[in-house]
Amino acid sequence: MDHVAIRRVLVSVSDKSGIVEFCKALALHGAELISTGGTAKALREAGLSVKDISEHTGFPEMLDGRVKTLHPRVHGGLLYRRDLPEHEATAKEHGIAPIDMVIVNLYPFEQTVAKAGVTREDAIENIDIGGPSMVRSAAKNHDAVAVVTDPADYAELANELESKQGKLGLSTRRKLALKAFRVTSWYDHAIAEHLQHLEDDADELVPRKLIALKQVQELRYGENPHQQAAFYATGRVKTGLGDLTQLSGKELSYNNLLDLDAAMRVAADFEDEPFAVVIKHTNPCGAATAKHTAEAFARAYDCDPLSAFGGIVGLNRAFDLATAEQFIEGEKFIEAVVAPEFDADAVEALVEKSKKKWRKSIRLVQARASRRGAPIEYRSVAGGMLAQTGDVQRIDQAELKVVTSHMPDNTEMKELLFAWALCRHYKSNAIVITTRNALLGYGAGQTSRVDATDHALQRAGEKARGAVLASDAFFPFPDSVEKAAKAGIAAIIQPGGSVRDEDVIKACNDNGVAMVLTGMRHFRH
C-alpha cells in the first residue's frame, strides 16, 4: 500500500510538546483519537474528542497503569495484515478495529536515572513496557501503520497529511519505522547499561556489547577536508567531552576534539597542584605544575614555545584572570583551552574585550574528566572494535624498586613519579625528561626507543643535566641509558622486564645514574 489513510490513531506520550497541535491536524482529516491517562486529559482540555483506551479495549487500566495497552484489540489492530483475507476475517471475528497510527514517546528512563540519588525502585518504575511494545508492533507492520516517536516529526507529517488528504506515503512510513526501532534499541540499551552499573560490573568485557552513540554535533570535516565527520557522546552518564560547554570561539573541529580529549585526560591526572599542559597532535609539548594556574601555564608554554604555537591547553583548575593575562602577554596563539571552570572576568579579558582575531576565535571549552577514566575504552579497526579497560593504574613511591647503587633522594623520587605520570600520555615509543615538575624534552611515537631518547635529549639540551627521564616501556639495550647518562640525566624510571635488565642497570651504575623500576608499562599506540 503506497498511501494509507489515517483514520484511527492511538496516542500515549510522556513528552507532550506539540502533541495538541498535531492531534488537531489529525482530527481535521477525520481521524479518531484513542488515548491514555494524562495524554487523554491534555487533549480533552484542548477541546479534542478522545476515546479512552479502556473503552477501546473493553478492559480497565490496572496495576498502577502497568497494564493498559497490552491487549489484543491494541496489538491486533496494529499487527494484522490488511492484505490477507484470513487476517481481516480474524480481526472482524474478534472485534479488532484497525489502528493506522501510533504516537508514542517512552517513559523518561534516561532522565530519571540521571538524577542524583535516584533509587532502584524509581528506575524500575520508569521502564516503559506498553510503549515499546506498541512501537515495535506498529513498526513491524509499517506497510499499513505509521509509528511516530519523535515530536520533531509532527510538523512535517502534518504537512504531508494536508497535501495528501489525510494519507501518509510508504516511504514516510518506512522512515518512521526505522527511527522507531532505533528508539527502542536505544531505550533498551540505556536500561541494560543502568542495570549493569547497579550490579557494579561496568568494567567487565561481556561477550556481547552494544555501544550507543548520540550525535552531539556535525563537524565540518574529519582529520582532512575530504572526510565526513560527526561528534557522538557515549556512556550511561555524560562525562568529559560528552558533557562539554563551549563558551567562545569557532566551531570545534575533529582534530580539536581529539586534542581537547588528550589535554583533559592529562590534566585530570594531576590533582595535587595547579597543572597546565599544552597538546600538539595529542602529545604533550609542554607540561608543568606551580602554585598558581597562571604560573603553571607559563612554565608549560616555555617548555617548547615553537610547538606550543596553535596548541591546545588543558588545565586542572579554573581558568582565571591571571592565566588569561598570560595568554595575552606576548600574544601566545592557542587554538583552544579545556578546563573544569572559567572565571567570567578571565573570559571577558581574553575574548570579549579583545579586537585580536585569534583571541576572538579561541575555543574555550568547559569539561571535566574523571581521573579514573572510562570503564571501557573502544577503538575501531577494519571489521570490528577493540575494547580494553582504561590505563588508570597508578603507582606510588613505596612501590618503586631501586635497582642501582645510587639511591634517588626524596626530591628525585617525586620528580620521577611526575615524569612517569606524564609519560603514559605520549604515543609509544615514549621518553620524557622533566625537572622541577616541568617538561624539558620528549620523544613520542618513534619506531625505536633510541630515536625517542635522542629526540627527548635534543629538546632538553643542556637543561637535561640533573633532570630525570621516564620511559613508557623497558630498555631492550643499554644504549639509550648511556646516551642519557652522557647528557647528564640523574635518574631514570622505567618498567623493567627486559632480558638485558642487568646490562641496563650496569650502565646506570657505571655512569652514576639512579634507576627505579615500576613493574608496569604504559604502551599507547
Catalytic residues: 140, 281
Omega before residue 429 within 30° of 0, cis: yes
Pull the grid cell for residue 218: 556535525
Q: Are 432 and 456 in contact (CB under 8 A)?
A: yes
Q: Are 123 and 194 in contact (CB under 8 A)?
A: yes
Axis-axis angle for helices 130-140, 72-79 (nearest 10): 30
How many CB atoms lie under 10 A from the CB of residue 475? 29
SS3 495: coil
- Residue 143, phi then psi, degrees to nearest 5: -60, -25
Residue with grid cell 571501557, as numbered in its chain: 376
Cα dihedral 301, 303, 305, 306 sign: negative
Q: Which long-range contacts (CB under 8 A, 24 or more apart) does 224-227 make?
A: 227/254
C-alpha angle 14-19-25 in degrees, rounded to nearest 5:
155
Single-letter residue type at 278? V
Q: Are 249 and 361 in contact (CB under 8 A)?
A: yes
How many CB atoms lie under 10 A from the CB of residue 164? 16
Nearest CA to 441 out of 281, 335, 287 is that of 287
Q: Cα–Cα distance between 337 and 311 in angstroms, integer?
A: 9
SS3 273: coil
Q: Are 483 and 507 in contact (CB under 8 A)?
A: no
